[in-house]
Amino acid sequence: MIQFILIHILFLYLLIIEPWWGKKSYQKFIFQVKQTPTKRFALYIRWGAILWGITLYFFMISYLYQIKIDWWHSFDGFPLYLVIGSIVGSFVPILLAFINEPFRKRMVLQLELYQDFLPATTKDKWGWAFLSFSAGFCEELLFRVYLLYLFLDYWHIPIWLAILFSTIIFGMAHWYQGWRGVIVTSMLGFLLAVIFVWTKSIVVCMILHFLIDIRLLAFLKKSRHS
């Protein structure tokens, strides 16, 4: 019974609390930054620290109940072009921004809609890099390793249903971005879940996730050094 409770506490957090808290904390973030723009860095660090705290809880239950973490496996039988194509594809917008000025301007205009959330100074960018690394490492353990373990090894549901459920939960965790953000992140979550199930190498998903988040810095205006 204790095992059931400890394992499912994390599930309830990801399913219910994370979407609600994410939306609320995002609104608070925007309010605080509008009042004091220099708070961005500290808020990025705080969000990253919370991710690490939740991940430490996952490490605890994985140690107590022998939840296997597939860090890295061989790629025998796996079409490497899927991984390579995903990584290269994540950088296509950056390449287009460098060679196509109209495309770059459109990207900049889109990002201006989120200017209060995005880094504005060099220090902010370091904070964003930390947050991107934290999201890449921690969210892959939580939404891929943990959820797929729960659905496949604990609930014993079909693999396609496990991937679908984990995809939906990952998308809803980004509810603060609006429905467009939920759809986009759900598509990303589906791709990462398929790659993880196929390769059994969560490190690949972590790297891809990090690169997708950090690439945003390439579209930002030149930073202030304060």
Give residue-wise pLDDT tens across range 157-186: 999 999 999 999 999 999 998 898 899 899
Crossing angle for the helix pair 80-99 and 178-199, nearest 10 degrees?
A: 140
Residue 53 CA: distances (Å) to CA of 6, 35, 46, 84, 220 = 15, 28, 10, 31, 29
| C-alpha closest to that of 128 among 64, 47, 38 | 47
What does the pLDDT look like over 178-223, one tens digit per residue? 898 899 899 999 999 999 998 888 998 999 999 889 888 877 765 5
Structure confidence at residue 61 as a pLDDT band (50, 70, 90): very high
Task: Output DSSP code: residue 177.
Answer: G
pLDDT value of residue 91: 65
First and final C-alpha spacing in the chain: 52
- Sorted by sequence, the CB contacts under 8 Å of residue 151 that are 6+ apart come out as 157, 161, 162, 165, 166
Structure confidence at residue 116 as a pLDDT band (50, 70, 90): confident
Q: Which of 26-35, 36-45, 100-109, 115-124 has the lowest mean pLDDT?
A: 100-109
CB burial of residue 36 (10 Å; 0-12, 13-18, 19+): exposed
